[in-house]
Structure 1
Amino acid sequence: MSQTATTAFDFSLTGLDGRTIDLDAYRGRPILIANTASECGFTSQYEGLQSVWTRWRDSGLVVIAVPSNDFGQQEPGDAEQIGRVCYNNYGVSFPVAAKSPVKGAHAIPLFSWLARQGGFLARPRWNFYKYIIGRDGTLATWFSSISRPDSERVQSAVMRVVLDH
């Protein structure tokens, strides 16, 4: 599927709960995807992701976290441990995928596609890279770890895709 995929809606993820997160179910809606980790200096960005979700979900935005242990081994836990961090520590209510590789040859198909769409610099180099998908399913823009989800830059980009009808 990854080689023939033309939009983000062509992918699905396994959820933290083992169920499928079918991105096609979000067709026509903007999506913010972030690769995350529970033991990272940026882990508090879960709060910002939740804030973005709370602010924009009624306008159609979907936020999806994809935990990964690819950077600094900062996501060593199993699904139960990841869930405790997300749900108990940060009050996350948006979809969380199962722990998955997001870089290199072993990256899940969605992240391979994001890397191709965004180019070399868009490939995640650490935890909490953020990818904003437009309503048409194409990559609108991306942000590195240092751009907080609740920053003005990210919020402006989210607002553009949310208001793009």
Structure 2
Amino acid sequence: MEQTLQEFTVKDSAGHDIPLANYKGKVVLVVNVASKCGFTPQYKGLEELYVKFKDQGFVILGFPCNQFGSQEPGSNEEIQQFCSLNYGVDFPVMGKVDVNGSEAAPLWKWMKESAPGILGTELIKWNFTKFLIGKDGKVIKRFAPKDEPKDLAEDIQKALS
């Protein structure tokens, strides 16, 4: 049987287990985030998407990652403060993860296999790669780092309806 988002457990910023079964029936956008990246201002757009759609069953899960140019060097606590103070982020930002390599978090391995990138590559190329996951827990679409959050609204709306 094909895996779904709900089968995974991740760590929050305090190191507690968060079963993604908590998001059963929701549309979820999973993003690898970083505080010191050229795409970091996307936090603002992500928060706007979250506010716009959260009452319709939408959630964003941010996963800080330091694998791209060491652009997320902070501790989980520092990352939380940065997101809150600089961008008013209210969506869940989890604990730091690896998204590539042998230490890649199982959730990220699954998403990459489910929705490979250009030319079938599974590697995450940079921060702010986004995966849209439907209510059924399956990956709908992968978005590149350069894809602005506002440009995802139509796909999110479609997944919610």
If the TM-score is normalised by the length of the shorter chain, which range does it land in? over 0.9
* C-alpha distance in structure 2 between counterparts of 1:122 and 1:54, whole Å: 30
- 1:40-62 deviation line (CA, Å, top 9, x unaligned): 00001111110111000000001
- Residue 122 of structure 1: CA displacement? 5.2
Checking the alignment, whether the CA contact within 8 Å between 1:21 and 1:97 is kept in structure 2 is: no
Match of 2:156 in 1: 158
User: How far has the Cα of 1:27 moved from its partner?
Assistant: 0.7
Which one of the candidate residues 38, 46, 66 is aligned to 2:43? 46
Q: Paired residue for 1:76?
A: 73
Q: Aligned partners of 1:98 and 1:90: how far apart in 2? A: 18
Once superposed, what is the RMSD of the aligned Cα atoms? Answer: 1.3
Distance in 2 between the 1:122 and 1:148 partners? 21
**How far 1:20 sits from its partner (Å)?**
2.4
Alignment of 1:14-33 (within 5 A): 14-33=11-30
More deviation in 136-145 or 77-86?
77-86
CA-CA distance at 1:17 after TM superposition = 2.5
| Cα distance in 2, alignment partners of residues 7 and 122 from structure 1 | 18
Partner of 2:148: 148
Identity %: 36
Report the Cα distance in structure 2 between the residues aligned to 1:137 and 1:156, rounded to whole angstroms: 19
Q: Structure 1 residues 5 and 71 mapped into 2: Cα distance closer, same or farther (>3 Å)?
A: farther
Q: TM-score, normalised by structure 2?
A: 0.93
Conservation of the 8 A alpha-carbon contact between 1:122 and 1:142: no
Structure 2 unaligned segments of length 5 or more: list them: none
Return closer, same or farther for 1:100/1:5 CA change in 2, 3 Å cut-off.
farther
Select which of 35, 54, 58 maps to 1:57. Answer: 54
Q: Deviations over 1:78-116 (max 9, x none)?
A: 012111211111101111110110112211000000111
Which deviates more from structure 2 when the two are superposed, residues 20-29 or residues 66-75?
20-29
Q: Does 1:139 align with 2:139?
A: yes
Unmatched segments (≥5 aa) in structure 1: none
- Runs of 4 or more, structure 1, over 4 Å off, are none
Structure 1 residue 28, shift from structure 2 partner: 1.0
